[in-house]
Amino acid sequence: LTAEQGKPLPEAKGEIAYGASFIEWFAEEARRAYGETIPAHQTDKRLLVLKQPIGVVAAITPWNFPNAMITRKAGPALAAGCAMVLKPASQTPFSAIALAVLAERAGLPAGLFSVVTGPAGEIGAEMTANPIVRKLTFTGSTEVGAKLYAQCAPTIKKLGLELGGNAPFIVFDDADLDAAVDGALIAKYRNNGQTCVCANRIYVQSGVYDAFAKKLADKVAGLKTGNGFEEGVTFGPLIDEAALRKVEEHVSDALAKGAKVVLGGRRHPLGGTFYEPTILTDVTPDMAVAREETFGPVAPLFRFETEAEAVAQANDTEFGLASYFYSRDLARVWRVSEALDYGMVGVNTGLISTAEAPFGGVKMSGIGREGSRHGLDEFMEMKYVCVGGISPEDGA
- Within the chain, where are the H helices? 2-5, 9-29, 68-80, 93-105, 120-129, 142-152, 177-189, 206-221, 241-256, 288-291, 307-315, 330-339, 372-377
β-pair partners for 158? 135
Alpha carbon 35 to its chain's center: 29
Annotated catalytic residue: which of 15, 29, 162, 276? 162
Question: Is 231 an active-site residue?
Answer: no
Handedness of CA 372, 376, 381, 387 (dihedral sign): negative
Q: How far apart are CA 312 and CA 293, in angstroms?
A: 18
Please state, in angstroms and as integers, the Cα–Cα distance from residue 118 to each residue in 73, 136, 142, 144, 392, following that order: 20, 18, 21, 17, 63
Asked if 380 contacts 53 with a C-beta cutoff of 8 angstroms, the reply is yes
Annotated catalytic residue: which of 15, 196, 198, 276? 196
Q: How many residues would you count in the chain? A: 396
In degrees and rounded to multiples of 5, residue 148 shows phi and psi of -65, -40
Indicate which residues carry an active-site annotation: 162, 196
